[in-house]
Amino acid sequence: MSFIIVYVTHKNLEEAKKIASHLLEKKLIACANFFPISSSYWWKGSIETSDEIVSLLKTKNENWIKLKNEIKKIHPYETPCIMKLNVEANEDYESWILKETK
């Protein structure tokens, strides 16, 4: 058994929690964690740096396409970072992820 973690960057914690709450209500994710990060990246021809929040969203693999599309619809970034990571965990935790998602 395995599941996925979806890594998403956000402008601030408020936006990250708003998106996570929306996804939780739709049962597309079982859990979200939030971490502050400092980012450096190319954007429209120049190097930018900013403080952001990363959310780690835990769900079953079958939800990937729906989850990605739902995030794109509500995320305020022009080009949001939405990355899928295939992961494995202890059996009880993986069962919980599957039970809590549609």
CATH 3.40.50.880 fits domain 3-100: no
The Cα–Cα gap between 83 and 34 comes to 15
The pTM for the full model equals: 0.95
State how beta strands 3-10 and 82-87 pair: antiparallel
Q: What residue spans of the chain are helical by DSSP H?
A: 13-25, 64-74, 91-100
pLDDT in tens, 30-75: 999 999 999 999 999 999 999 999 999 999 999 999 999 999 999 9
